Structure 1
């Protein structure tokens, strides 16, 4: 029996975002593509980091000074404009490059399931880029790995 590798589990359609997108554009992009995060690429298409919905939430909290505390407070402390919406000065809007994580975690396309799981756990991340040499050939998430545990009957 052939062993399962990263290339068997990965999604070969990598949806990346440009580092010069605004955070608002990033949020719309992630929602439109129904994904929770993506690799970040520079103008030449080279990977320079990763960004996720968690990064957007953290940046929103930082921008507001004290964002909503989902565990103890809710949205009561969030600054509102007259319409009840949080405002952002467009001249000062953050870019993806301001909130992304510059660490890029990868596995080789022939990495075993054990190597993939070990890397995800050791790096405390939810997605890995799958590489063939210097080329990105896919993306693999914890959801892809967990799919192995589900009986599809």
Structure 2
């Protein structure tokens, strides 16, 4: 296990989420693909963040005022208009359809390079309290390593 690098254990079949998707669509995507998180890309495929089921749960468990604020922020940035509070309150009942991935994603993407040692990958994940880390090359995601990947390596090493 000490000689393995990130590129040796990463899953190169990375599923991406798009920042403009509704939160409801994202939840369906996660369920259909049987994944719990994904890197987020903009329409030009630029890597802009990361989102997970935890972000969805946190959003869904917000109170009405927080959802109204999220909707207000979205519509002000998208259209430059301020909406009437009655409209915002009405729409907040379906906030998962009216708010986007961009509003719940984390802007900071924690990544490693392909030649990062597995032990360093573990340290990065532990220090950042995350369950997945992306393997990047020149800003492009080439793979993902999850805690399950690391447990598999450990179990197969016989240590």
The unaligned stretches of length 5 or more in structure 1 are 67-86
Name the structure with the higher helix share: 2
1:66-77 matches, within 5 Å, as none
Alpha-carbon distance in structure 1 between the residues aligned to 2:134 and 2:63: 29
Q: Contact 1:108 / 1:133 at 8 angstroms: preserved in 2?
A: no
Q: Contact 1:129 / 1:138 at 8 angstroms: preserved in 2?
A: yes
Residues 29-48 of structure 1: CA deviation (Å, up to 9, x unaligned) = 00010001101000111111
TM-score (norm 2): 0.75
Structure 1 residues 2, 152: closer, same or farther in 2, change over 3 A? closer
2:121 to 99, 113, 116: 116
Structure 2 residue aligned with 1:147: 152
* CA-CA distance at 1:132 after TM superposition: 2.0
Structure 2 residue aligned with 1:28: 28
1:1-153 matches, within 5 Å, as 3-64=3-64, 88-89=93-94, 93-151=98-156
The unaligned stretches of length 5 or more in structure 2 are 67-91
* CA-CA distance at 1:150 after TM superposition: 1.5
- Which is bigger in relative contact order (C-alpha 8 A, separation at least 6)? 2
Aligned residue pairs, count: 133
